[in-house]
Amino acid sequence: MTSEPEPGSQEAAPTDIDALMRAVADGDRDAFADLYDAVASRVYGLVRRVLRDSGLAEEVAQEALVEVWRTAARFDPSRGSAAGWIFTIAHRRAVDRVRAEQATVDRERRAATANVPCDDLIEEVTARLEQQAVRRCLRTLTQLQRESILLAYYGGLTYREVADRLGTPLPTVKTRMRDGLIRLRDCLRVSWG
């Protein structure tokens, strides 16, 4: 963690990413190289956060980015931003890998394998949020909403695992994830709108 980059320093505005994505969908390799430069730090960082292993993260980030190229024509801009689509692909790849690895150890040990203390995880990612709006909006959530969302997303946990970890009933965690995200959405909408 000694040589952390400045997250966000290479980020392109969302609209640029959308435009690049359209060119990539037409098979434009130069546009893909630009798209890589615009999103790679977030794709790699997210995957590494979930997998907690640099070597594995490099492999999975590569798979995710190649998948972006391969399936670019399937991206539907009416359903959301290109950046959102790309990060969803990356996150799912990482989570799939975590769960495949976990499937090879005893099921009983599953909860124990994701053993990052949740307070540390939440504190760290909150501290690193460059986007002031996201950080501020996360503060408007209840503690349980925030913990449920951040543990699931950055920890790659299922809501069942989150419920176990937080010692909270399953239906409560499910509901808090949803209403927490709705509150976050509404807050971000005001901030960016």
Partner 1 sequence: MSDIHTLAGAYALNAIDDMDRARFDRHLAECPACAAEVAELTETVAALAEATAETPPVGLRSAVLDRIDRTPQLRPETRRTSGRRPLPRRRWLAAAAAVVALGGAGAVGYVIADQSRPDAGTRADTEARRIAAVVGAPDARMRTTATDGGRVSVVESPSLDEAVAVLTDLPAPGTGHAYQLWVIRDRTPQSVGVLATGRTDATELVSGVRGAQAFGVSREPSGGSTTPTLPLVAQLPLG
Span 163-192, contacts to partner 1 by CB under 8 A: 171, 174-182, 184-185, 188
Q: Measured from the CB of residue 76, what is the shortest distance to partner 1 in angstroms?
A: 6
Min CB(134)–partner 1 separation in Å: 5
Least Å from the CB of residue 167 to partner 1? 17
Q: Which of residues 39-98 bind partner 1 (CB under 8 A)?
A: 40-46, 48-49, 54, 58, 61-62, 65-67, 69-74, 76, 78-81, 83-84, 87-93, 95-96
Report in angstroms the alpha-carbon separations of 94 from 19, 35, 47, 60, 128.
26, 20, 5, 6, 20
Spatial distance between the Cα atoms of 42 and 53, rounded to a whole number of angstroms:
16
Burial of 122 (0-12, 13-18, 19+ CB in 10 A): buried
Confirm or reject binding of residue 28 to partner 1 (CB under 8 A): no
Buried b (16+ CB within 10 A) or exposed e, 34-66: bbbebbebbbbbbbbbbbeeeebbeebbebbbe
Nearer to partner 1, 74 or 193 (CB): 74
Binding mask 119-158 toward partner 1 (x if CB under 8 A, else -) reads: ------xx-xxxx--x--------------xx-xxx-xxx
Residue 101: CB minimum distance to partner 1, A: 10
